[in-house]
Amino acid sequence: MYRRFALFVMLLSSYQNIFSQSRDLNFYLQNGIANSPLLKDYSNLQQQNRIDSMLVLAQKKISVSVDGLVQIAPVINGIGYEEQISNRGQYAAVVGANQPIFQSKMVNGQLNSVHIQSQMISANQKISQRELEKAITDQYLTSYHSISEMQFQQQTISSLQNQEKILKELVNSGIYLETDYLTLQLQIQTEKINLKQMQDDYRSNLFALNALCGIADTTTLQIEKPDLVWKGASTNANPNLLLYSLDSFSIEASKDLLHFNYVPKVNLHGDAGYMAIPADFSVKKFGFSAGVSLAWNIYDGSKKNLQMQQFSVQQSTYSFYKSNYSLRLSMQLADLDKKLQSSNEIISQWQNQIKDMNKLLSMRRDQMESGQLSMIDYLLLIRSYRDLQKNLNDAEMKQQQIISEHNYLLW
């Protein structure tokens, strides 16, 4: 019992020296979201969309323009335009105004289209953020799996080193041979090489996690054990499903805008200013004009009906995709639920086996220390224990991956 406690203290102090600080999953999720260029791009698109709304509203306002003209048509040596036609030129400086009327329905339709676009951007932003969170979580789980294997490897080495001291005394007492001692030393060196490879793997996984989250940090620190929680089964707020509905709404908005292309468009317009020809610069040439213009697309070869048919086909396609996605989603969730149940059972079985192995290992250790067990048999038992621990570690990581995948599909 004392040796195990001393081993635990030594292992704990060893890792406190290696890692001066630790970070958890939330730290990486927050930094990943804050540093994502794609999410920033979506934020900028939302800002542009708000500007689009203001541009649509600007169509209802009066527009004012200034037009100026200086045109000279000289006649030189009989060469030139007919004066009755060209008046030898024209001078004009006019301020014009134009005001669309009866356009409220069309503007509202355009605003509705912009609003749907804003919802689609928001849904895509949520999907991209969830995909990023999933990628960060998966990389975090991979990194923690590396460090947990590394920690267990260090524990194995410490246990073997502790047995090395005891074996040295037994060799001196003639209970074991020198070859047994050399065999144990060789095994310790092999385990140290494996530890070095595990440390390299952990560093690579940690650097990949930092790069994914936009963190410029090359220090090797410890990450905390993840503890993902299984979410309740609800898909009502899934933005993927919302996108299919928004696609259909967008088609309806396009139908409305197409309809507005075939209704009369009325504009009030007027101007005021100065117009004259070179021969007459009288002040009386200042004046104004006003009028009403009408534009109405009555027939264009049934293009409207053909476009409406295209819209109907697109809506049917979106509806099929939505139904198919809902089916696949329900099947995936059902499969993950079964996988979690199986994973819990497997973890429980591995834990029970490790308990039994700990009892056996304690008994075999006493036999070894009394010279009743060969060193080869003891090392084989250590390897078996290590394999059991690795299987448990893999099963726990698999469980966290299942929970991560399940939570990714729910909103």
The confidence score (pLDDT) of residue 279 equals 65
Expressed as residue numbers, the domain containing 180 is 2-60+103-262+297-409
**pLDDT of 18 strictly over 50:** no
Lowest mean pLDDT across 228-232, 283-287, 303-307:
283-287
CA dihedral 131, 135, 136, 141 (to 10 degrees): 140
- Higher pLDDT, residue 7 or 292: 292
Scan for tokens 């003891």, then name that residue: 378
Rounded to an integer, the average pLDDT of 289-297 is 84
Query: CA 26, CA 125: separation in Å to the nearest integer?
Result: 19
Q: pLDDT tens across 36-49, in order?
A: 999 999 999 999 99
**Paired residues of 265 in beta bridges:** 295
**pLDDT of 4 strictly over 50:** no
Helix H or strand E segment including 66: strand 63-72
Residue 321 lies in a domain: yes
Residue 278 lies in a domain: no
Rounded to an integer, the average pLDDT of 254-263 is 82
Q: pLDDT tens across 123-135, in order?
A: 999 999 999 999 9
393: region left, alpha or beta (phi > 0 left; psi from -120 to 50 alpha): alpha
The most confident of 85-99, 157-171, 196-210, 353-367, by mean pLDDT: 196-210
Task: Give the chain's length.
Answer: 411
Please state whether beta strands 22-23 and 222-223 pair in parallel, antiparallel, or not at all (unpaired): parallel
Residue 154 lies in a domain: yes
Share of the chain above pLDDT 90, in %: 38
User: pLDDT confidence of 182, banded at 50, 70, 90?
Assistant: very high
**pLDDT of 399 strictly over 50:** yes
Residue 70 lies in a domain: no
Residue 108 lies in a domain: yes
Distance of CA 265 to the CA centre of its chain: 45
Please state whether beta strands 63-72 and 89-101 pair in parallel, antiparallel, or not at all (unpaired): antiparallel
Closest C-alpha to 110, from 100, 97, 124: 100
CA dihedral 35, 38, 40, 44 (to 10 degrees): 170
The most confident of 109-118, 196-205, 239-248, by mean pLDDT: 196-205
The confidence score (pLDDT) of residue 12 equals 42
Query: Helix H segments across 19-79?
Result: 25-34, 37-58
User: pLDDT confidence of 3, banded at 50, 70, 90?
Assistant: very low
- Read off the CATH number of the domain in which 359 is found: 1.20.1600.10
Helices then strands, counting H and E runs in the chain, come out as 9, 6
**pLDDT of 358 strictly over 80:** yes
Name the DSSP letter for residue 288: E
Residue 112 lies in a domain: yes
SS3 351: helix
**pLDDT of 195 strictly over 70:** yes
* Number of domains forming the structure of the chain: 1
